[in-house]
Every structure is written in C-alpha cells, then in structure tokens.
Structure 1
Amino acid sequence: MLQPADLIMSRSFPSPIASEISALRQQALQHLTATDVPHLTAEPPAELLYQTMLALQQQELHRAQKQIKALQQAAAHTTAAADPTADKFHRLFEYSSDAVFLLVDNHFVDCNAALLALVGETDKQQLLGRHVAEFAPQKQPDGHSSRERADDYCRLAAAQGRYRYEWLGQRSTGEEFWGEILLTPVQMDTHTLLHAVWRDITPLKMAEQRRRESEEDKQRALDAAGVGTVMYTLGSKEVVLDERARTLLGLPPGSGPLPHTEVVRQVHPEDLDQAGEVLTKSQQTSQSVVLEFRVMCADNAVRYVRFRGEIEKREGQPDRLLGVMRDISAHRQAQQELSYKNRLLEHIVHDMPVVLTKLDHTGVFLELIGLGLRPLGIQDNELQGASIFDGFPDEAEHMRRLLAGHSISTISHVVWEGKEVYYQNFGYFDKAKQEAVIFSLDITESEQRKKKLHAEKAFSKQVIDHSLDCLVSLDLNLCVTAWNQNAVQYTSVPEEQALGRSFFEVLPHLLETPEIRNVLEQVLKGKPITLFNHTLRLRPGSYDIYYVPLKNTDRSEVTGILITIRDITERNRMLADAVQLQRQHQQTIVRAVFAAQEAERKRIAEALHNGVGQLLYVTKLNLENGGPCPPDPAVLQVLNEAIQATRNVSHQLTPGILEDFGLEVALQELVKHIPQSKLKVYLHLTGLDQPRPLLLELSVYRIVQELLSNAIKHANAHQVHIQVEHEDDQIVLSVQDDGQGMPESPLVVSDPGMGIISIRNRAELLGGRFSLDSHPDRGTTVRVALPIPAKSE
C-alpha cells in the first residue's frame, strides 16, 4: 500500500521507482483536475492525492492482471503446438513444490498451488490483488511495519536485480511461520513484474533458535559457574577467550584472537614450566589437559585458576586445544585454611596434653591419639578396635548418652594400670558419619590442686579453731566472718554474737578510734600492716597484731581482712635471754670446726708442698745432672706434671690468695685453673669489693670449689654458671650446671668429704639457707645464702 504522496516523495528510492511514483502522482493530479473536484486548490490535500494515486494504481493492476492472463492464455495456445516444452514450464510453475508467485507493486497477480497451501488459502482468487504484507503480522521481529519492509525489499530487488530475505509470514488461520523469499524482477512491456519463490524455513529457524537457546543456556551456566572458555590453535599459536576467561587472566575486554605470548605473560613465572610440560605431554598422548596455575593481577595479588581441556585433532594431528577455566582462589584459600587447621589440630594433639577420640556407633575405638594418653602409658591408637565400654566401664553412662546423639561435657577420672588421670571431656555425635568425636584435656594438675585446696581449707579450719593466736577475719564492710576460740577468750564475746556483725559493734569501747579506722582503711587498699609489741586494754602483756589484706585467686582485688593477734610476752622474755647465748655458742662451734678443717688442710698442703713436692723436684734434678746420659724426656714430662699437680692440690687446700687479695680475685683464679676444654665456666661477681669476715669468704670459696669439682667429676657438665653477690646483710651464691643431674635422693651419699651434705651443713652452721634443684638429664642448681655478721661480732 502506498503512503501519502508528500511522504512518498520525501523518501529516497532507486531512480526507476521514483520516476514511476512521480508519473503516477502526475496522473492523479490530472485526474482530479479533469473531474473538477469542488474547491480544489493549486495543491490538493495529501490524503486525497494518495487515495487517487491508489485508485489509479489498482486500475493499472487490474489491467496488468488481465493483460498477463491474456498473454498466458495466448502463449499457452500458441506455444502448446509450436513448443511442447512451454507447457512443461507452465506445469513447473503450477505444480512446483516451492511456493511461486508473481507480484506487481508487491501485490499478487499470480501464484501456484504450493503458495495457496503455504498461506492457508484454497482459491487463487482469494489471493490475487492483495498486498504480500497481508499474509504477515503487522510488524516483523525487528520492529518495523511488515508493509514497509515488504516495499523496501521490493525496491531493493528492482535495484539489485534480485534479493533474498527472511520473512515472518502469517497464514489465514493466524499461524505464524518463517519463510525465505527470493525476488527476481522481470521487465514487461509497461510494468516491472517480480517473480518470487517463498520457501517455508520454520523447522530450520526453530532448530537454529533451539541451538541458540542451548548456546545461551550453556553460556549462562558457564557464567553462573564462573567458567570461561578457551580455544588455542596450535598451528597459529593464537588464543580465543570469552569475556569471563579474559577477566580471569586479567586481560582487557575483547573478542578477537590473541597471540599466546600475551596470555603467557599473565601466568605466574614459577608455573610456566609445569604448564608447558603438561601441554606437551597432552599433545603427545592425547590425554586431557588438567592444570592449575597462578595469575598475577594488576594489584600484585595472586589468583588461582584451574584449566581443563581436550586436544582436538585434524587429519590425525593435534590441531586445537579446547577447554574451560575457572577461578579456584576461594577453593584454594579454603584448602589452605583447612590444611592450616589440620596442622594446628595435629600440633594441639601431639604437643599439648589432650586426647582426640573417635568411636563408631557401637562404641568401638576408630581413633585414639594425643599426648594426653602418655600419663596412662597408652600409645596412639593402641586401643583401636577395642570397645570403650570394656576399657573404661566407669564412663559407660556418658558414652551411651553420646552415642544416642547427645553432646556431652564431663570430667572423668580414668585409672589405667595403676595410673590415674583427670580429663575434661567435650563430645558430640556426627550423624552423617555415624561416629562420636571426643576432645579431652588433661586436667590432672588442676584437679589435684582442687583437692589440695580443699584439704588446705579443712586444715585452715582446724588451724583457726585450734590456733594459739587470736584470729579474726572481716569482709569489705568490716563485718566479722571468722572468730576463733582465742578471739572469744581475748574479748569475752561468743562466736555466734560476733559473726555477721560490724567489727565496731562487737567491740565499740575498744575499736572506735581514729587510729584503728585508719589502719583498716589502709589494709583494705591492699597494704599489710603489723603492729609489734602492742598492748591490749583487756589483757596484760605484749602482742604482735597482723593486719593482712585477703585477696581473690588472681590477687587483683582485696576481698577482706585477716587480723592475727599473737601473745609474745613469754617469747620476748625467753628470746632476750637465749639470743645472745645461742649466737655465741653457734659462732664458737662454727669457728672451731672450720678452723680445725682449715688447719688440717693447711697441714696436708704443707706436707704435699714440702714433702712430696720437694722429693719430686729433687728427683728431677738428679735425673737431669746424674750421669753422662740425658734422662728420658717422657720421664721428665711425667715428673713436671706430678710437681705441678702437687702444687695445684696444695693451692686448693690452702688458698693463700684469698687472704692476700680477697674473695673476688680468689674465685677468678679458681676458675682460671679449670680447663676450658673440660668445662666452660661463666663467673658473675657483684659487690665483692666490700669487706667481709675471712671465715665467711673462706666458706664461700670452699662451697664454690666443691660444686665445681662435683660438676667435673660427677655431673659430666659442659657449662657452669657461677653467681656470687654481696647484698646488704648477706652473701648469696648460685652454681648452675647443665650436667646429668642427681637421683631423687641426692643427699643420701656415702662420700664423707666435702659433698652436698657438707655444703648444706656448712650453710646451716653459718645461719644461712641452702636449696637444691636437680632433675635427671636436666642439670643441677645449688643456691646458698649466708648472713654477714655485724662488725661487733
């Protein structure tokens, strides 16, 4: 159908069509002028002009149809006798399986039976004279009007000589179908005729649509899975990547092929060799390519990518690699996190006192491992395959609850072959695996401390009840929480009347003083206060009063006050009489004992030096000057060593350097005589430049000397640390070696010499303190603290 004339002339058409439309317009104008249309202006309305042009066109179309029909009939009669093949061409037109028709200005002027069947008509007359767009939806799939599209295709066919296009048709029943139309212009005497072939391609279109939808579904699935596609042509070494694959490799968007070098640049350098080996092997064996590699991102981050592909062959030779890749960074991180957690669990199980237990649904051990088994003497999986009900019957009730699907949190006391351990257990039942998992922590030490604490509490209660001191405890509000029998005796206030009441209410006439309140306030702030030789209003004598802040377990907060009142009247009297006598007696004994020891040592040293030493020296002189033959050097060497050994022993017995130069120099010289190849000695001296009694310095020297000897002879030590420090009123020494340690009862020895027992006795006689810390294979540490006597002593 033609558009209004003003619109028609404004469009750009091929010159033949434009000239025909121009001529048709002129005919319409002439027709309107000849019919003397009322009120006709110089330029008639476009709608009137258009209707007139359409009517003239229809008239021309009917004349053309009549002319073609007449020509066909004449040709049929004329050529039937002259040329039998003409009838065959006519039959091909009429009975062709393809829908064939003729158009003039896109209107049907003739068609065969196949076209009628295609569009759903039964009579050719129902078709002739109608526009081809009448057998199509109002609009084509591209959104354009079907009539406009049909006219455009008609003009293109006239301009190009032929034109093929796809067309969405519509049968008379309303059913839509896809067709392919080939238009071929045929020039008649006065008109251009279009010969058209219309083929139904609906099955092809549907197949194509299904294929396209399948490809789209696949692409959506790949996109949803985060998968990118890769095609690598081995010959040209070009790579075609989809958008997802480009994103995974950190490449810019695009669709064209890339040289493989540009793709390789994105792969982590450490993964290139492995990737090359896998690809080469795949080409040789035609196996699938499975590869995981890292991609360097622009921000220097690392992305993990997994590629899987197949080699496609052509003529028996590898041609292309087709595959997919996806980002496995999250999976890899999850694997690394899981690996870390597994390693952490292994460290916990093997390096901490815990036990990991797995049981099947019947209670049989699937796994039993952990360092926490060692106190029981059980090795990892030693009980695998055994029943927990047989091995640990005391846990039967808890295990039944656990195997029934309940979680448990219990403390168990396990006894195994005479060994006992306490465990804190946490367990749950995994329904998916049908197994129970128990995590047990060795809390033996904690439980033992609890028992000890309970025993201490019971003991404390007994001590409070039977103490000779007056004991009173107060809470933060200064209310009485404990009041023993001596408190009753001292105050004449019964315990039941004191408990729970304010301390000041119990004894108002004695305690309502600013001094007592100030003391209690200081104690509540954490400061212990002791009042020595104090007097009480109700009782004669002297008393020490101790105000001690009570604190919680971590000693961070004060929870109350403990008041201890001790009668020291008799003690003071006796102490005054005994202290001086005891001190004098002790010092006399110590001096006598040590003086005797040192005298004996000095006598032995002089005997060695003046006796054995001189004899060895004379023997050496006689050998050197005794005859014409020189003495054997080996003999002289032995004599020299014997002389030196005698001198060393004599020096050790009587350290004259101690009297001459003091303790600091004496200890330094003592260490110098220790062969470094046998024992490395580290000496740390502090404050030894101060004066001290010779007897005290000699005792320190002897103790250090003996401990060094023990380290060399018995401990098989490699290193010894000696620390001697002069403090305000005492001298403290510590000797620590890394030797083999001592047995559980190191003080039970048969050596009557200067051994551990002698060191301890010497320290006690001097009023000092002695401590020994030794374990087999972990060395020994001896600490001694000796008081420094006052100058008057």
Structure 2
Amino acid sequence: MGRFSPSPLSAELSALHQQALQHLAATDAASLAAEPPAELLYHTMLTLQRQELHRAQAQIKALQQAAAVAAAHATAAADPAADKFRRLFEHSSDAVFLLLDNYFVDCNAAMLALIGATDKQQLLGQHMAELAPSHQPDGHPSRERADDYCRLAIAQGRHRYEWLGQRCTGEEFWGEILLTPVQMDTHTLLHAVWRDTTPLKMAEQQRRESEEDRRRVLAAAGVGTVIYILGSKEVVLDERARALLGLPPAAGPLPSTEVIRQVYPEDLVPASEIMTRAQQTGQPVVLEFRVVWADNSIHHIRFRGEIEKKEGQPGRLLGVMRDISAKRQAQEELSYKNRLLEHVVHNMPLVLGRLSNTGVFLELIGLGLRHLNIQDNQLRGVSTFEAFPEHAEPMRRLLAGESVKYVTFVVEQGERIYYQNYGFFDQERHEAVIFAIDVTESEQTKQKLHAEKAFTKQVIDHSPDALIALDLNLRVTAWNQKVAQYASVPEEKAIGQSFFELLPHHLETAEFPHLLEQVRQGKSITLFNQTLGRRPGSYDIYCVPLQNPDSSEVTGILITIRDITERNRMLAAAVQLQRQQQQAVVRAVFAAQEAERKRIAEALHNGVGQLLYVTKLTLENGSRFPPDPAVLQVLNEAIQATRNVSHQLTPGILEDFGLQVALQELVKHIPQGTLKVYLHLTGLHQLRPLLLELAVYRIIQELLSNVIKHAHAHEVHIQVEHEDDQVVLSVQDDGRGMPATPLPAADPGMGIVSIRNRAELLGGRFSLDSHPELGTTVRVALPIPAKSQ
C-alpha cells in the first residue's frame, strides 16, 4: 500500500497529521521504521480525532449543563429556599464549584479568586486537569488522577484528596478538595470544595525539615532522644538511642523492662534512686550508667532529662543520652597512669620535680632522692640554683623553654651519684617539669665496661690473627689492626660497613656468603689453606657464631683469619726432608733387593743351571744306553725355566744395554699368539739413574704379568717417555677391566697397591682408569733426581 499524505489544502488535517507523528514518536511504534506505515498513521490520527471529539462533546455537555444550572437558578429565584442555597453557593468563603465528568459547569467568586480568574467563562467547559501541572508530585498525569478521584467520589458517596493546583498565572499551590456527588435530573454532578493548604503544607515541610535537622545534629553529636511515659512504663527511643543501648532497630514504644534489661546490674539501684528523687523534687535527671550489648561489650552512657508534669503529676521524662565510653576510658586511663606514675616514683630510683618559671621547686618527690638523704618535698620553695648549683646551665635552658636531656652527678659524702635527666617547660602552666633516674650503678658498670673494652681492644689489636666481628646483617662491629693492614681500611671507617663491600676481592670463594649464612644459623665453619685476593700466602679462616650466653641466640659472627704461610712452608720442608729420607731408604732397599736378586740369579745360572746342563750332557754322551727323550725334554725345560727366573730376577741386559733394549727383550718373551704387545718408547736414549730404570722396568714387568693373569686382553699398549724432569709410563689393555669397587689384592707380589706405593715413595704420581668390559689404563710418572740431569 502507498504512503498516506494529507492534502496540502487542509490546515486542520496537516495539524492532525503532525500531532499523530509526535504521538508516535513518543511511543514504541516509532521504532518500527523511520517513517511509520500509512495504516498506523491513519489509525493514530483517527484515535486522536475521536479523543478530541469526546472532549468537545464533554465540554459542550458541561456548557449545556452550566446553562441549565443558570436557568434553574433563574427559575428558582422566586423560591426563598433555593435563593438561600444560591446565596450560600455564591458568597461562601470557600472555593466551591460544580463538575460534570470532571468539567466545570459552575463556580463561585471564591473559586475565581483562588485560581486568579476574573470571569466564570474562563472556567466553564474546562477539564479539572487544566488547573494543574501536567503531572502530580506522585508522577501520575494530572488528567488521569483527576478522573480517578471523580470515579471514587461517585462510587463512595464522597472523596477527599490532596491536589497540586495551578493558578492562571502559572503559580502552583497545594489544596485539599472534597468531592460530593449531587443528582440533578438525569446527570450526576460533583459538588466540590477546594481549600488552599499551601501555608499549612509549607509549615509542615518546615517542621519536618526542622525535625530532620534536629535529628541530624543529634546524630552528628552521637546523641539519642528518650521519652519515658511514667504512667504506662513505656519508653520511646529514636534510632540512635536504640543503638546506644544495644537494641536492634525498631519502631514504636517498648516496655521499660527491656531497657532495664540492658543496664549493668550494679548500676540499677543508683539509677532508680536518682529517678525517684527527681520525681519528688522536680530536679533534672542526670544519670551515668553502663549497658551490656549482645556481644557482652560494656558501654558507658550519660543521660540528662527533665520530667514533664501533667496536671500537677509526673507525666513524661524527656531527655537525651550519649555514649561516654571513650571519655570514661580516657579518665580511667589517666587515673591509672597517675597511680602508675606515683607507684613508680615511690618504688624506683626516680625523681619528679616541678619548678616555677624562676627555678623555685614547687614539688620534688621520688625514691631517687634517698641517695642524697632528701625526703619528698623537703626542698619545696628552695631555688634549684641553690640546691644543685652543678645543674645551673641545663636549668637555665629549661626555664628558657628548651627541652633538656643530660647526665650529671651529685657528690654526696665523697661518692658520685649519677642521674639521667629529662626536662621540658609547660607553656600553659608556666612551669618546668624535670624527671631524673638514679643511674649510678649503670654508670659505674659503663665505666667498668669501658675499661674492659679498652683492654680487650688492646689485646685484639695485638693479636697475630686478623679478627672481624659482624652483626646478623653482616656489618662490621669490630675490626682489629691486622685486618686494617690486610684491607688497607682503618677501623673507624670499617665499623658499620658491609663486610663484602669492604672486602670484595679478598675472599674469592663463591661459597663464602652461603657459609656465613650457615654460621648465622649457629654452625661453626672452618676453611683451610685459603688464599686472599691481592695478598700472597695461605690462610686458615675460622667462622664461629657469637651467641647470647643466656638464651643461646646467635647475635653475630666472629671471623678469624690466620696466616699459615710460614707454617705451610715449614711443613712442606719437613715433608720434603721426610720424603728425601724415605727415598734414600727406598733406594737402599731397592739396591739391596736388586743385589740379592742378582746373587740369587747368578747362583741359579752358575749353580743349578750348570748342574742341569752337565746332567743333560752326561745323559746324552756318557751312558751306554740312549736316554729317554721325555727325560731330556724335562731337563731342557728345567734349564730354560732356570734361565728365565735368573733373567727375571736380574735383567743383566738392563745394566749392559739400557732400559730401551731391556723393555724390547721383555716384550719378546711374551707369546704373541696369546697377547699382542705394542711398545712405544720416546727419549729413552738419555741417561737415567739405574735405580729409576729398574723401577720402570719392574713396574712394567708387574703390569704385564697382571694383564696376562687377570685381564683376558687381546692386546696391550705400553708407552714410556722421558720428558724434561720425569719418566712417564702407561700400560693400556682392552681386557675386561676392573669392578667399580676394587677387591682387596690377593696377589702376594707387588700388585696394584705395591705399584702405587713404590711410585709415591719415589715422589711420583699414580693413576688408574678402568671400566668393566672397557679395559684398564695405568699411568705412572716418576721424577728424575736433579743430579742425574
């Protein structure tokens, strides 16, 4: 369908069209489209036209009824009763008017004056809502609310309501309207009386505001109001009063027994006596009592009120109450502090004095005066400058308004009595207050400690060790002269400084901060043979916790640094001498062993070996019968075994041709089918002591024997190298290796342990690297004595 468009020739239709658009814009229908559909627009225009027609009809009806009423009045003018009613209507001081369907049909002059109109025609035919703002204070539209009141009046027979009206000048005012239905012919009119209640409304509003302000002031002051009705024994409490008594929020009066239940039991009797006396004398009631809240907390309440008499008899008690718990607590605290101060002054060596602004004692008390043989207030009225002239200078500053704090002494019978003093000047009372405590014992102890500290300081400074004391924050508390020399930092600059900031490069171990943390936990730590950065030598460092002897609580750390450089040098010299002596003994033992082996070898070779050889020749040449081949074979093996043992006991080839040839011959005697031996020799053409070459030969001989017996190896590599000042040998096999935990040696011969011992006795180094199924490598490094170079 097409859009609806009114004819431009019809101004009334254009106005209705615009009114419909405005109506739709104020409703949800306008959101359906920017331009409403023609059907919706047409329907809205029709509805608005019908509403306007209804209003016009109602207005015409009201005007007709007004004319009928006027005609009825004119017709009834001859009737005295009707005329009397008419005069009452017209000349009533109240605004009176008649409504038909809530449209005005008549009104009196008072009504015109109320709304500021000059003629009835300004009202006749107008709706009641025309004399009001668009909406009432409750938010409802005035027309709807007026129609509702009209229907209620007809249904109930009358209806009174409050109405916010509007005069012709636009001024708003409050009024009270009474509607009464009146039946006239076929129509029901409403007779209305409208009274202006604006002054009463404003007065009530001012009263409420005043009451609200009063409540706010009382609430801000923490005050609650109380009304006690003496006759009914009921109590009316405002919200604040209920809270002060620990009662839950509620409205309305409550029995006095509920209030009494909140009062602390011991305060009930005194409060009852004061109430009775006030009723008898008419004096104001002033009470201070305690209340117990639901959480068992106790609060102090002060009540003040007056009794309002009614016909000569007590009627009500009006009053206010407030919480004085803080004030009472402060008073009790002040009282307690005063008692405490008095107790302290009379039971401890204290002195409390008050002086006038001229220095005259107003009060001087305390147990601290007894050492001076002075009683409390014995010097009242005496000038402090006369009694204690040694205090003159600080007393002048005190009386000048300056706070003073100092230690001084008074000589009594040749003994010094020390006092720690503090004083201030009270500007409000124009007097000075001085506190003093007898510190004679502590001062004597302090002097003794000072002397002991000086002595200890001398001992510490002359200690050959470096001593450092730290607090738990690792800041220096003591620093002797030895440390000052090490760090080039004097003690006066070191005290209070961080230990690691003072010695950033001296203790280079990264674990030292962690070790100090352990010491701080109570563990003693010792570090041996440490080095200090930027300073040569070796040092032992002892870190011990400093503990409180009473509680064993760690209070600090003591670090002792001892220079052991000379001690280590002497120990090293002693070890070197011992080693030299051991090596001399070892050489002698080795020489004796080799000589004995040589003698045994020669005896075997020249004795047993020759006899066996002669026996063989005799059997081969001297007998008539040829010898048994098996016997000859045994003899040959015995001769060869004797030669081998003789060669093993003393390899003469070593003395004749040197270590290189001896090792090559040693390898040749190993069956190659059983074990492949690879020999690598370097630098062996140089001269070496025979004892050293014998040691190398015997070690390799024993290691090869171990490989053959135990390793189950296929090949072995032997390497011997003559370096600048040592001979390094290694024997590496591909056998089954040794277990992770070596078993005790069962071999009565040299064995691994014997090889290690021989190497160490000769000043050498021994190492063994073995893994299961991966073979074994033995390395030995033997030093060459300097005289052989």
TM-score (normalised: structure 1): 0.50
Instruction: Sort the Cα spacing of 1:135 and 1:416 in 2 relative to 1 into closer, same or farther, 3 A.
Output: farther
| Kept in 2: contact 1:376–1:420 (CA 8 A) | no
In 1: Cα distance, 2:559 partner to 2:367 partner: 42
| Kept in 2: contact 1:306–1:326 (CA 8 A) | yes
Q: Any idea what SS the aligned residue of 1:140 has?
A: coil
**Aligned equivalent of 1:299:** 295
**Aligned equivalent of 1:62:** 63
In 1: Cα distance, 2:272 partner to 2:170 partner: 61
In 2: Cα distance, 1:425 partner to 1:108 partner: 97
In 2: Cα distance, 1:155 partner to 1:188 partner: 17
1:242 aligns to 2:238 (yes or no): yes
Q: Any idea what SS the aligned residue of 2:371 has?
A: helix
Q: Cα distance, 1:168 vs. partner?
A: 1.8
Structure 1 counterpart of 2:53, one-letter code: T
1:445 aligns to 2:441 (yes or no): yes
Instruction: Sort the Cα spacing of 1:443 and 1:203 in 2 relative to 1 into closer, same or farther, 3 A.
Output: same
1:110 aligns to 2:109 (yes or no): no
Q: Cα distance, 1:60 vs. partner?
A: 0.9
Q: Cα distance, 1:420 vs. partner?
A: 6.0
Choose from 391, 402, 407 the match for 1:411: 407
Q: Any idea what SS the aligned residue of 1:143 has?
A: coil
1:127 aligns to 2:123 (yes or no): yes
**Aligned equivalent of 1:313:** 309
Matches within 5 A, 1:194-209: 194-209=190-205
In 2: Cα distance, 1:121 partner to 1:44 partner: 34
**Aligned equivalent of 1:355:** 351
| Kept in 2: contact 1:365–1:383 (CA 8 A) | yes
Structure 2 counterpart of 1:167, one-letter code: W
In 1: Cα distance, 2:221 partner to 2:95 partner: 47
In 1: Cα distance, 2:348 partner to 2:43 partner: 111
Instruction: Sort the Cα spacing of 1:172 and 1:450 in 2 relative to 1 into closer, same or farther, 3 A.
Output: same
In 2: Cα distance, 1:275 partner to 1:218 partner: 28
In 1: Cα distance, 2:264 partner to 2:448 partner: 62
Matches within 5 A, 1:112-261: 112-261=108-257
In 2: Cα distance, 1:287 partner to 1:419 partner: 67
| Kept in 2: contact 1:472–1:480 (CA 8 A) | no
For this pair of structures, how many residues does the alignment match? Answer: 451
Q: Cα distance, 1:237 vs. partner?
A: 1.9
Instruction: Sort the Cα spacing of 1:419 and 1:282 in 2 relative to 1 into closer, same or farther, 3 A.
Output: farther
* Structure 1 runs not aligned, ≥5 long: 1-37, 465-470, 482-498, 506-524, 528-548, 562-793
In 2: Cα distance, 1:229 partner to 1:476 partner: 83
In 1: Cα distance, 2:275 partner to 2:484 partner: 91
In 2: Cα distance, 1:119 partner to 1:108 partner: 13
| Kept in 1: contact 2:73–2:86 (CA 8 A) | no
| Kept in 1: contact 2:398–2:425 (CA 8 A) | yes
Structure 2 counterpart of 1:436, one-letter code: A
Structure 2 counterpart of 1:160, one-letter code: Q
| Kept in 2: contact 1:475–1:559 (CA 8 A) | no
1:375 aligns to 2:362 (yes or no): no
1:92-135 Cα offsets, whole Å, 9 max, x none, are 44444332222222222333333333223333332332222222
**Aligned equivalent of 1:74:** 75
Instruction: Sort the Cα spacing of 1:195 and 1:371 in 2 relative to 1 into closer, same or farther, 3 A.
Output: same
Q: Cα distance, 1:347 vs. partner?
A: 1.5
Q: Cα distance, 1:56 vs. partner?
A: 1.9
* Structure 2 runs not aligned, ≥5 long: 1-38, 469-479, 487-521, 525-543, 561-789
1:621-663 Cα offsets, whole Å, 9 max, x none, are xxxxxxxxxxxxxxxxxxxxxxxxxxxxxxxxxxxxxxxxxxx
In 2: Cα distance, 1:223 partner to 1:327 partner: 12
1:59-91 Cα offsets, whole Å, 9 max, x none, are 21121122122223333xx33xx63x8666545
In 2: Cα distance, 1:419 partner to 1:210 partner: 82
In 1: Cα distance, 2:188 partner to 2:362 partner: 94
Instruction: Sort the Cα spacing of 1:280 and 1:418 in 2 relative to 1 into closer, same or farther, 3 A.
Output: farther
In 2: Cα distance, 1:280 partner to 1:70 partner: 76
In 1: Cα distance, 2:390 partner to 2:547 partner: 35
In 1: Cα distance, 2:338 partner to 2:157 partner: 78
**Aligned equivalent of 2:53:** 52
In 2: Cα distance, 1:55 partner to 1:558 partner: 109
Q: Cα distance, 1:255 vs. partner?
A: 1.8
In 2: Cα distance, 1:502 partner to 1:187 partner: 124
TM-score (normalised: structure 2): 0.50
Choose from 278, 285, 289 the match for 1:289: 285
Structure 2 counterpart of 1:272, one-letter code: L
Q: Cα distance, 1:210 vs. partner?
A: 1.3
Instruction: Sort the Cα spacing of 1:253 and 1:372 in 2 relative to 1 into closer, same or farther, 3 A.
Output: same
| Kept in 1: contact 2:62–2:104 (CA 8 A) | no
Instruction: Sort the Cα spacing of 1:217 and 1:427 in 2 relative to 1 into closer, same or farther, 3 A.
Output: same
In 2: Cα distance, 1:128 partner to 1:477 partner: 126
| Kept in 1: contact 2:58–2:103 (CA 8 A) | no
Choose from 462, 465, 469 the match for 1:478: 465
Q: Cα distance, 1:220 vs. partner?
A: 2.4
Structure 1 counterpart of 2:465, one-letter code: L
Q: Any idea what SS the aligned residue of 1:265 has?
A: helix
Instruction: Sort the Cα spacing of 1:106 and 1:339 in 2 relative to 1 into closer, same or farther, 3 A.
Output: same
| Kept in 1: contact 2:467–2:559 (CA 8 A) | no
Residue identity (%) = 64
In 1: Cα distance, 2:319 partner to 2:109 partner: 52
Instruction: Sort the Cα spacing of 1:456 and 1:244 in 2 relative to 1 into closer, same or farther, 3 A.
Output: closer
1:342 aligns to 2:338 (yes or no): yes
In 2: Cα distance, 1:298 partner to 1:105 partner: 62
Instruction: Sort the Cα spacing of 1:417 and 1:113 in 2 relative to 1 into closer, same or farther, 3 A.
Output: farther
Instruction: Sort the Cα spacing of 1:379 and 1:91 in 2 relative to 1 into closer, same or farther, 3 A.
Output: farther
| Kept in 2: contact 1:473–1:560 (CA 8 A) | no
Structure 1 counterpart of 2:69, one-letter code: I
In 2: Cα distance, 1:205 partner to 1:52 partner: 38
Q: Cα distance, 1:228 vs. partner?
A: 2.9
Q: Cα distance, 1:448 vs. partner?
A: 4.1
Matches within 5 A, 1:550-569: none
In 2: Cα distance, 1:480 partner to 1:284 partner: 89
Matches within 5 A, 1:710-749: none
Instruction: Sort the Cα spacing of 1:387 and 1:168 in 2 relative to 1 into closer, same or farther, 3 A.
Output: farther
Q: Any idea what SS the aligned residue of 2:262 has?
A: coil
Instruction: Sort the Cα spacing of 1:381 and 1:133 in 2 relative to 1 into closer, same or farther, 3 A.
Output: farther
